[in-house]
Amino acid sequence: MSLSRSSAIPRSALTTMAASRRSVLRGMALSGLAVGGANMLAACGGDSGGPATGSGATVKFGINEAEGSGAAYDRLKAIGDAYAKESGTKVALNAVDHNTFQESISTYLQGTPDDVFTWFAGFRMAQFAENGLITDLSDQWPIDGLNDSFKQASTAPDGKQYFVPISYYPWAVFYRKSVWEKNGWTPPETNDDFMALMDEMKGKGVTPFAFGDKDGWPAMGTFDILNMRLNGFDFHMSLMAGDEQWDGDEVKLVFDTWRKLLPYHQEDPLGRTWQEAATAMGKGECGMYLLGTFVVDALGENGDDLDFFTFPELDSSIGADALDAPIDGFCVAAAGKNQEAGKAMAKWLGSAAAADAGNDAADAPFIAANSGASTSTYSDLQKKSAEVVGAAANIAQFMDRDTNADFANTVMIPSIQDFLKNPDDIDGITASIQEQASSIFG
Amino acid sequence: MTTETPVAAPTARRATPPARKEGGVLSKRRGAVATTIMAVLALIWLFPLFWALINSFREYDYTQANGYLSFGGWTTSNYEDAWSRGNFGLHMRNSLLITIPAVLLTLWLSSMVAFVLARFSYRFNLTLLGVFLAANLLPPQALLIPVFRMFREIPLPYFMSDSGSMLNSFWALILVNTAFQMGFCTFVLSNYMKTLPHEIYESAELDGASVWRQYWQLTMPLVRPALAALATLQVTWVYNEFFWATVLIQQGDKLPVTSALNNLRGQFFTDTNLVAAGSIIVALPVLVVFFALQKQFVSGLTLGSTKG
């Protein structure tokens, strides 16, 4: 048993280099051991004996929400229960809180992972696919109701699918309907409208943008949207992939525009969490807030008095048809013991039935990926989210999902914070990012 | 003897105050300054704890709307919520199942090593003690990957660990904690044992006590204060241990209570008052152990210090 374990799990999963010859060998070892390994496990008298799916089988389901943590957990639990009911397979739930799950994902996948686990689309999924830590699901695709853009988001650079999406949410500019009605403000269409609106807000003593970056990640959303508006979606994605220069004119333009917009933001963002910033917007001290739809969580209300618009265009030759809309979903761990059951469950998780089970269990500001999912329980915010994302031509995943995780967390978070502390040193900051980027992306 | 001591004591006491006034230990003025400094430092140190304690009794909505410098919004619901949402009953039990065996095992093994190091002269005695100490200075982070891989390769029967390996089992945490705490315990215990009079062992030897008996029935009762002091410290350290638990346990329902504190944080949203309440609940057992065994702790630390 220890033998099968040692050869089935890649030894250098922590390194980011992809050795194609080794992954081929690894694939051969995996498929060769699938038969022998199952027998050996059964001989150990473990719970892995018996049928792979259907009644009597168990599939382990790792989720990134702690038990009792509210709506997000209730949704995943309901999805697991619905699958158990429908397929007869027993679902063993392993609930770990979101941050711990994310921080220990490397040890999790190399240790004794569950068969199916919650994860994100984008570069972070692709990294695990390259390292052979997650299972190829291309034989489960296409899945009814998931369109091509979701298939694209589930595909690693090798052209195979390793991911099944369930839901997503957009990043947009949120505002209080009542405050805007009182002042007669309307969502801006053009750059001129936008600037005029912000000047008027300032004139009335309202800070146009709520802003908080104490945790480091919220300001990434601002960078993403400015980059997509100023340099276009394609440049943004290749910049994230490490194929463009961080100290080039394009990125400098982003920071320079940001520097000019900073006077319209709340001051001292590094001392404020996004929750405090959201509260300031909720109280009407700030006019609007660029964030994900989870902004309603911090306001302690159902969001009836909230509305949003996509960030207006800054360059008319580029337009405003791209936005961040992170997709959540599931992967099958390569070291999971019951691969067959994992794959079968993953396929079901992409179905409309799975999305409905989650939506019926608890409200959350997310929208189902499957086009067949019922929208009857959707709030106005969710309906509008679906509309806005549906209208977008290009969808990014958010910086920390679109690029190397080490780069996002150890380079971009401190760099953006440095910029917010000292917005005039753009040359120094971009040079330092580029230097670190070239050592990470090689 | 017994009549002499009470007589001698007053003279000694009378003799001490003048010595102090001449600037020996602490004059009155210096004492006042020292007390003030210590009081200020203690206040600075305790302030965040009090702040957390106060805010753990306040509603999040109230503090968010009025700021933390306001006054009001009192509630105890944070504690009820923290207990049920964090599932602390289960995680406290996990912590108990890890801490108690680990502390007992550490004390037992290190007292045996310490006994041999203190009572018998081998050529490698000092080297051995040095190795134990050196291991204690090694940062656990440096051993993360080797330990993780080693534990992954060690199979356990399914009735001991449902993952089939050392990962995801309490055994792993008990062993790791024992290994990392043994160095310090061995060092303290062997120093303490060296202070025991050699004559006791000579008489024991003459009376025909075996080595085991010298250890179990002679040494162990005599080092009880040191054991109690170490037990207090060890319970605190093992209970508070966070690093190995997050690395070696990946199953949510097996995490000890310190790691389970994270359960109170959401993916995006964090109710800080709730987390404060949770932290107070998690800190309570340590405080109880510490205050209950405080006497042993102090006497255990000072008893060894006065002798060579």
A86-115 pLDDT, tens digit per residue, is 888 889 888 888 888 888 888 888 888 899
Both A102 and A29 in a single domain? Answer: yes
CATH number of A130's domain: 3.40.190.10
Q: Examine residue B4 and state whether it is found in any structural domain, yes or no.
A: no
Q: Examine residue B219 and state whether it is found in any structural domain, yes or no.
A: yes
CATH number of B109's domain: 1.10.3720.10
CB atoms within 10 A of CB A304: 12
Q: Which residue range(s) make up the domain with A125? A: 2-35+51-167+327-378
DSSP conformation class of B214: I
Distance CA B302, CA A108 (A): 45
Both A373 and A424 in a single domain? Answer: no
Location of structure tokens 């911090």: A298
Q: Examine residue B48 and state whether it is found in any structural domain, yes or no.
A: yes
B101: tokens are: 């065996």
Which A residues, 255 through 294, put their C-beta within 8 Å of a C-beta on chain B?
273-276, 279, 283, 292, 294
Contact A104 B247 (CB under 8 A): yes
Both A30 and A72 in a single domain? Answer: yes
Pair B48, B54: CB distance under 8 Å: no
Q: Which residue range(s) make up the domain with B44? A: 17-54
Is pLDDT at B296 greater than 90 in this prediction? no
Q: Examine residue B41 and state whether it is found in any structural domain, yes or no.
A: yes
| Residue range A36-86, pLDDT digits in tens | 333 333 333 334 445 666 666 888 999 888 877 777 888 899 999 999 988
Both A132 and A76 in a single domain? Answer: yes
Q: Examine residue B35 and state whether it is found in any structural domain, yes or no.
A: yes
Distance from CA of B249 to the nearest CA of A (A): 9
Instruction: Pick the closest to residue B98 from B271, B257, B269 (CA basis).
Output: B257
Distance CA B63, CA A298 (A): 13
Q: Examine residue A203 and state whether it is found in any structural domain, yes or no.
A: yes
Question: Collapsing DSSP states into helix, strand and coil, what is residue B217?
Answer: helix
Q: Examine residue A256 and state whether it is found in any structural domain, yes or no.
A: yes
* DSSP letter for each residue of A316-381: TTT-S-EEE-PEEEEEEBTT-S-HHHHHHHHHHHTSHHHHHHHHHH---S-EESSTTS--TT--HH
A142 preceded by a cis bond (ω within 30 of 0)? yes
Q: Examine residue B40 and state whether it is found in any structural domain, yes or no.
A: yes
Distance from CA of A21 to the nearest CA of B (A): 23
Both A153 and A91 in a single domain? Answer: yes
Instruction: Output A226-229 pairs: Cβ under 8 A, ≥24 positions apart.
Output: A226/A254, A226/A257, A226/A258, A226/A261, A226/A314, A227/A251, A227/A254, A228/A322, A228/A323, A228/A394, A228/A396, A229/A311, A229/A313, A229/A314, A229/A315, A229/A318, A229/A320, A229/A322
| Whole-Å CA distances, B56 to B61, B200, B268, B279 | 13, 55, 20, 9
Ranges B132-136, B229-233, B280-284: which has the least confidence: B132-136
Kindly report the pTM of this predicted structure: 0.75
Length of chain A: 442
Distance CA A424, CA A426 (A): 6
Question: Collapsing DSSP states into helix, strand and coil, what is residue A115?
Answer: coil
Both B24 and B169 in a single domain? Answer: no
DSSP conformation class of A270: G
Distance from CA of A73 to the nearest CA of B (A): 10
Both B191 and B231 in a single domain? Answer: yes
Q: Examine residue A428 and state whether it is found in any structural domain, yes or no.
A: yes
Both A317 and A233 in a single domain? Answer: yes
Q: Examine residue B7 and state whether it is found in any structural domain, yes or no.
A: no
A308 - beta bridge partners? A174
Nearest CB among A111, A297, A300 relative to B268 is that of A297
- Whole-angstrom Cα Rg for chain B: 25
Q: Examine residue A257 and state whether it is found in any structural domain, yes or no.
A: yes
Residue of B nearest to A294 (CA): B268
pLDDT of A53 reads: 63
Location of structure tokens 């990043």: A171
Distance CA A322, CA A82 (A): 35
Distance CA B293, CA A364 (A): 48
A376: tokens are: 């009857």
Both A199 and A239 in a single domain? Answer: yes
Q: Is A64 touching B (CB cutoff 8 A)?
A: yes
A118 - beta bridge partners? A330
Both B106 and B37 in a single domain? Answer: no
Distance from CA of A243 to the nearest CA of B (A): 30
Alpha carbon dihedral A295, B77, B64, A385, in 10-degree steps, equals: 10
* Weakly modelled stretches of chain A, pLDDT under 70: 1-56
Nearest CB among A94, A99, A275 relative to B252 is that of A94
Residues in chain A with CB shorter than 8 Å from the CB of B165 are 5, 112
Residue of B nearest to A101 (CA): B250
Q: Is A297 touching B (CB cutoff 8 A)?
A: yes
ipTM score for this prediction: 0.70
Q: Decide which of B111 and B290 is more confident.
A: B111
Both B46 and B176 in a single domain? Answer: no
Distance CA B10, CA A242 (A): 82
Both B266 and B156 in a single domain? Answer: yes
| Whole-Å CA distances, B32 to A144, B38, B139 | 80, 10, 41
Both A337 and A417 in a single domain? Answer: no
Q: Examine residue A214 and state whether it is found in any structural domain, yes or no.
A: yes
Q: Examine residue A383 and state whether it is found in any structural domain, yes or no.
A: no
Q: Examine residue A42 and state whether it is found in any structural domain, yes or no.
A: no
Both A267 and A412 in a single domain? Answer: yes
Residues in chain A with CB shorter than 8 Å from the CB of B246 are 100, 103-104
Q: Is A70 touching B (CB cutoff 8 A)?
A: yes
A389: tokens are: 């994302």
| Whole-Å CA distances, B294 to A316, B49, B281 | 72, 20, 20
Both A200 and A338 in a single domain? Answer: no
Both A222 and A290 in a single domain? Answer: yes
Q: Is A301 touching B (CB cutoff 8 A)?
A: no
DSSP conformation class of A408: I
Both B248 and B112 in a single domain? Answer: yes
pLDDT of A34 reads: 37
Nearest CB among A99, A104, A107 relative to B265 is that of A99
A91 - beta bridge partners? A59
Q: Is A12 touching B (CB cutoff 8 A)?
A: no
Both A96 and A195 in a single domain? Answer: no
Residues in chain B with CB shorter than 8 Å from the CB of A300 are 60-61, 64
Alpha carbon dihedral A201, A207, A209, A210, in 10-degree steps, equals: -150
Number of domains in chain B: 2
Domain final residue pick, B54, B77, B99: B54
CB atoms within 10 A of CB A83: 23
B284: tokens are: 């309570």
Number of domains in chain A: 2
Contact B269 A98 (CB under 8 A): no
- Whole-angstrom Cα Rg for chain A: 23
Pair A46, B158: CB distance under 8 Å: yes
Distance CA B41, CA B61 (A): 33
Both B190 and B296 in a single domain? Answer: yes
Cβ contacts of residue B182 below 8 Å, gap of 6+?
Answer: B106, B109, B110, B113, B132, B135
Both B46 and B147 in a single domain? Answer: no
Interval B87-109 mean pLDDT: 92
B174: tokens are: 């008990």
Both B110 and B22 in a single domain? Answer: no
φ/ψ region of A205 (left if φ > 0, alpha if ψ in -120 to 50, else beta) reads left
Nearest CB among A69, A100, A112 relative to B266 is that of A69
Q: Examine residue B80 and state whether it is found in any structural domain, yes or no.
A: no
Contact A67 B263 (CB under 8 A): yes
| Residue range B240-281, pLDDT digits in tens | 888 888 888 888 888 888 887 888 877 777 788 888 898 999
